[in-house]
Structure 1
Amino acid sequence: MKRILLFLGTNLAVVLVLGIVAHLLGLNRFLTANGLNLGALLGFAAIMGFGGAFISLLISKPVAKWSTGAQTIGQARNQHEQWLLDTVGRLAQGAGIPMPEVAIYEGEPNAFATGATKNNSLVAVSTGLLNAMSQEEVEAVLAHEVAHIANGDMVTLTLIQGVVNTFVVFLSRVVGYLVDSFLRRNDEQSGPGIGYFVTTIVCDILFGVLASIIVAWFSRQREFRADAGAARLMGNATPMVNALRRLGGVEAGELPKNVATAGISSRPAWMALFASHPPIEERIAALQSRR
């Protein structure tokens, strides 16, 4: 319930901020005079901005299972699966969250956590990760994923994505109306022209790129927090440091886009500004500085 209230409160706050800024700058009078209903635009931007992000969060767990082929462990079939269930259960108890679903999927070394709420979450590990790491290192990775759930990272990133999406939709259309009004100063024809549509599309792309940079920055910060959370759950930072060092020496498996930000990355993306994970070296340094 608290997370839902946070979502609704954030949505309302964004709309209010946009409305106040437009009023202070006098944009509301200008845009209304040129045929734009500012209130309707604010509502449209909020629905488009938060709607997609919220729907993505709600379906994150089934989509993650489908896209990776992850098989949930219901009843342990062997000692390895039993160890996974017992370990995740103990870590979840230490983090103060309900037991997540645990799943295994075929692939190169990687793991991820997802789910709409702490009560409906999933921790999945690949067979490659289980085969490439020691039991203590696997436990540290599981602790990292449990820390993501305990920190509410999935909801937090959804809120951030919704905020930036709302700004993208709103600002793109405001700029589109401004450009279109300038191009059609002596045109008495009503309704938006081609200048509005072209400008809106261009702004959607440009502002969308900037929004991706902002979301990626927040994603990198949550990785540091999850590493620190794993160190707390493990009792010290050494297992997580060792796990990161091991990951730095292997090629982390590529995850589908819908769960990529929740997984492991052994190196940053080709452009650091768009990387969802910090470099392994920075994560290790941050953990070692906590000792």
Structure 2
Amino acid sequence: MAELLLRGQPLGSVEAILFDKDGTLSLSEPGLLALSRARLQACLEHLPEASRPQFQHLLERAYGLESDRLHPAGTTAVASRQHNLISTATAFCQVGLGWPDALAHSEAVFAATDPTRDPATDPAVDRELIHGQGPRPGEAPLAPLTEGVKPLLLELHRSGVLLAVISNDDSEGIHRFLGGHGLSELFQEIWSADMRPLKPDPAAVHGLCSRLGVNPSACALIGDASSDLRMAEGAGVGLALGYSAGWSSRPPLPEHLPHLDHWQELGVGR
């Protein structure tokens, strides 16, 4: 067990910390913003001119597209790929398409705009990432780390705290992110969109804690979305922490839970 400190004040002792990825470990907004714009433009090409303004308004609201930023609680920021696909198909239905056609158009758009990644099992990918050569041609760019998180992760690892990622990204995306930033050795487990149930189901936390071999009450969970923190409370996690600095707009977080605005505010007691 290690004692966590928030701005120098004790929060409690934990055996493990479960981290959200996008908007918490990673500055994912620029990449997700570009992806949501690409999806929107590709969708418009599937519609007659007269339907495009209404559809654009609907999909921008669902995705959380706000001019040059993303709303941190929109589907692009929070939801899985499958949930984003369903919200896209629903927008197609709202402008008059039947569900089979709406789903087919959405699947075609996502297939055309998804970032291309080499399989995670390809050792060449890891070598390129570890040596800092960046993505191969056609690969999705690697999202940068949030400021100050790597020193904290190293400190937690040295203190014997188990670290895990719980994310709606797929397993390949999580491993690529961790490997690309030299963090793979610090994290013991992941829970991804390839696993069931998906977050924010509290049972996802139970599944991840089981893989770690720890009780949820002995864990902390840190995320940038209210759904992350409600999930943590529902799962009986001992400590739920909101992180607010991963987006251009401050995410709406439950007021009754502790928040941090910079990773330097969190430390390990000596």
Q: TM-score range by the shorter chain?
A: under 0.3
Would you tell me which structure has more strand in proportion to its own residues? 2
- Higher-Rg structure is 1
Query: Which has the larger share of helix?
Result: 1
TM-score (norm 2): 0.24
Normalising by the residue count of structure 1, what TM-score does the alignment of the two structures yield? 0.23
